[in-house]
Amino acid sequence: MDTVPVEGTWRHAPFAAEIEDGMIYGRGAQDMKSASIQHLEAVRGLIAKGKRLKRTVHLSFMPDEEKGGEQGMREFLKTEAYRRLNVGFALDEGLSNAGEEYLVFNGEKTKWQMKIVCTGKAGHGSMLLPDNSGEKVRHIINSFMELRDKYRHQLVDDSSLTIGDITTINLTKLEGGTLTNIVPEKFTATFDIRLATTVNHELFERMINRWCKEAGSGVTVEFEAKDPHVSPTRMDESNAYWIAMKGAFESMSIPIIQRTMPATTDARFLRAHCPALNFTPMRRVPPMPHQSDERLPLRVFVEGIQVYENILLAVANV
């Protein structure tokens, strides 16, 4: 099962799962080997207790998720093997919460990643040539950053919003040029955009195309990723699985908070086929995915196994 690469300085070997002072250290301790092992332990616990469920529980361990899942879950969902599973409900990974509540996510922002290619007239660095690629890329960057600033202020000004509720825009790569005294023919700006669930995709793309036209001739968009809009899973009386899952939380006296997932997971592919929720039983834990010395308290890991047992009993007996 994939994780992101190991970077930075670690106190413990990142793939040893060493325990010190009640903490499990390792890449994947929070994202996402912990929940995968909890799934296995929960199923093993139910079998050991002789529990019989009305519905079959399938466990999937997918490759490629950290690279986007396009060659993992997305391709699997096209197969006859998936169709035969007759899946009615899915649980995928969530995030930890430093507070007392568990976080349950019913939708995800849509991932759009794109290159804006700005071409112009090449020449000597001492000249003021027309049709300048630098001027064009400046207009593009300014347009994206001004919109980014608008969304950032919305998040700061409204305490009811979380990062999952707003569109995020980030300039992640800027490429172009060879020598200091040569005006380059091309600059490329790469953006990582995660669209909020309320955004109209057609209007947003139309806006980007307008910016490119305003920047000048020879400015084009190349999408590296362009996920479609997928509606969030309903968390109301119409979703019997959610009602069962909610009842399990209530029986354990564990408070929950519903949110929109700020990043992307394999659930975005599943959600187009069946109801899907993102949840990992990690509370009273600061989020540390992808960080150096990623770690999870042992007590939280053990508690999560029992939580999954109770949830599986509930949703698999709907």
**Cβ neighbours for 16, distance < 8 A, ≥ 6 positions apart:** 25, 26
pLDDT of residue 194: 96
> Quick one: pLDDT at residue 15?
93
pLDDT at 1: 67
Point out the residues that are catalytic: 2, 65
Print pLDDT tens along the chain (318 aa). 678 889 889 999 999 999 999 999 999 999 989 999 999 999 999 999 999 999 999 999 988 888 888 899 999 999 999 999 999 999 999 999 999 999 999 999 999 999 999 999 999 999 999 999 999 999 999 999 999 999 999 999 999 999 999 999 999 999 999 999 999 999 999 999 999 999 999 999 999 999 999 999 999 999 999 999 999 999 999 999 999 999 999 999 999 999 999 888 999 999 999 999 999 999 999 999 899 999 999 999 999 999 999 999 999 999
Domain boundaries, the chain: 18-108+230-315, 110-226
Name every residue whose Cβ is closer than 8 Å to that of residue 118 and which is 6 or more positions away in sequence. 133, 136, 137, 140, 186, 187, 188, 189, 215, 216, 218, 219
Are the beta carbons of 164 and 261 closer than 8 angstroms? yes
Amino acid at 297: P
Domain made up of 18-108+230-315: CATH architecture: 3-Layer(aba) Sandwich (3.40)
In this chain, the answer to whether the domains covering 18-108+230-315 and 110-226 adopt an identical fold is no
> What pLDDT sits at residue 67?
85
The Cβ of residue 117 has, within 10 Å, a number of other Cβ atoms equal to 22
- In angstroms, the Cα distances linking 28 to 178, 260, 270 are 40, 22, 22
CATH of domain 110-226: 3.30.70.360
